[in-house]
Amino acid sequence: MSTVDSDDLRQRAREFLREHDHTTVERLEFLRARFDAGLAWVHFPSGLGGLDAPRAAQAVVDAEFEAVGAPDNDPRRIGIGLGMAAPTILQFGTEEQQQRFLRPLWTGEEVWCQLFSEPGAGSDLAALGTRAEWDGAGWVVEGQKVWTSSAHVARWAILVTRTDPDVPKHQGMTYFVADMTAPGVEVRPLRQLTGEAEFNEVFLNDVRIPDTQRLGEVGEGWRVAQSTLMNERVAIGGRPMPREGGMVGVVARTWRERPELRTPELHDRLLTLWVQAEAARLAGDRLRQQLAVGRPGPEGSAMKLAFARLSQELSALEVELLGEEGLRYDDWTLRRPDIVDFTGREAGYRYLRAKGNSIEGGTSEVLRNIIAERVLGLPAEPRADKDVAWKDLPR
């Protein structure tokens, strides 16, 4: 860890802004220069967008850029890259991989997606069957992935495959970076309850991947994937949030602006959820403090679990508060959004879309198991297939 402190970072940010006028410099050029100056994610190593500074100091830098209206990297559009791919590449990637992928990932030049879940391997990710076979010159991948956000706009994907079917399921997996423009990659939209298709199914038909795009050792894909998943749950449930940020702010604003909708029963429910949302927000602040001195652990699963429950209960309360008006949902056309916009849409949309929060990023049922076993230390669930070769598992 470097000796760079908050005052030094603040000064560096101000000097950078004096030297790079965001009103005259082209946006992408500005973002590239910010990355090269180490002011992208300050806790990353020097040369990779950071300054080896404490993670908590990022807020100091971001505040300086926001104060002058400087362009950001549109983090909602590239959230999978920022929250999942980047920390995995930093932890397991080679120097060449880090130099190749991290800069265009952070600037948003290259969008990423996540090829993990399969039709027969969702909650039990280790049951996946997408095969990667070595043919002497590279890896040849065959299989299907599903529930893939942003696959229709992604340039790269983080991909987990089965490379050894003769060992137990957790041992025979290998992790890759996959080119979404490679021959044999087919992306098909999955229409959701909202009418949108932000998700996709992805077919991999004899897709070739060079060994230089492998992350971690052959057979260690489960360990690499666990790092990705822990970071994903923090990214979904542990984002920095102001008081009354997110769904609770939307519902509270409706409550204040529409007094004719209020009832004592709805008031009690809103107050209870407001307190729970504030407790979750403060717990998220504490989790980010823990992250400042280490890597994400199972605590991120608790944050993601709380986020899903609160989103669903608050969106349901909003619909009930609005009555018939809350049932309106005007746009059922098939759209292919780059980002999910909760706060800029109707209450009916929020209610429907929130149903997915307890599935994406790990189902709430799986997260409860993780919390029980790895946080509370309760006995593990019996797993009869733990020592059975993947090829012998029933399908």
Domain ranges of the chain: 6-107, 112-219, 238-375
Task: Name the H helices within 292-385.
Answer: 299-322, 347-353, 364-370
Do 90 and 48 form a contact (C-beta atoms < 8 A)? yes
Burial of 380: CB neighbours in 10 Å, binned 0-12, 13-18, 19+:
exposed
CB 215 within 8 A of CB 178: no
Q: Which residues contact 49 (CB under 8 A, 6 or more apart)?
A: 35, 38, 40, 41, 102, 103, 106
Gap between the Cα atoms of 194 and 376, Å rounded? 37
Pick the CATH number of 6-107 from 3.40.1350.10, 1.10.540.10, 3.30.360.10, 3.40.640.10: 1.10.540.10
CA dihedral over 389, 142, 104, 353, signed as positive or negative: negative
pLDDT for the residue 325: 87
Please report the pLDDT score of residue 212 as a whole number: 98
- The reported pLDDT for the residue numbered 115 is 97
User: Which residues fall within 8 angstroms of residue 141, CB to CB, at 6 or more apart?
Assistant: 130, 131, 132, 159, 161, 176, 178, 184, 204, 206, 207, 208, 209
Q: To which residue do tokens 């949108």 refer?
A: 196
Q: Quick one: how many helices (H) and strands (E) in the chain?
A: 12, 8
For 76, the token pair is 């909602």
For the entire predicted model, the pTM comes to 0.86
Q: Can you tell me whether residue 306 is helix, strand or coil?
A: helix
pLDDT for res 266 = 93
Q: Which residues pair with 161 in a beta bridge?
A: 174
Output DSSP code: residue 375.
I
Tell the burial category of 80 from Cβ atoms under 10 Å away from its Cβ (0-12, 13-18, 19+): buried
* Vertex 148 angle, CA 352 and 346, to 5°: 25
Q: Return the pLDDT at 296.
A: 60
Residues with a catalytic annotation lie at: 232
- Which CATH number does the domain 238-375 belong to among 3.40.50.300, 1.20.140.10, 1.10.10.10, 3.20.20.70? 1.20.140.10
Domain 112-219: assigned CATH number = 2.40.110.10
- Per residue of the chain (395 residues), what is the pLDDT tens digit? 466 788 999 999 999 999 999 999 999 999 999 999 999 999 999 999 999 998 878 889 999 999 999 999 999 899 999 999 999 999 999 999 999 999 999 999 999 999 999 998 877 899 999 999 999 999 999 999 999 999 999 999 999 999 999 999 999 999 999 999 999 999 999 988 888 888 899 999 999 999 999 999 999 999 999 989 877 766 655 566 788 888 899 999 999 999 999 999 999 999 999 999 999 888 887 776 666 555 566 777 788 888 899 999 999 999 999 988 888 877 666 677 766 766 667 898 889 989 988 888 778 888 898 888 888 899 988 888 888 999 998 87
Residue count (the chain): 395
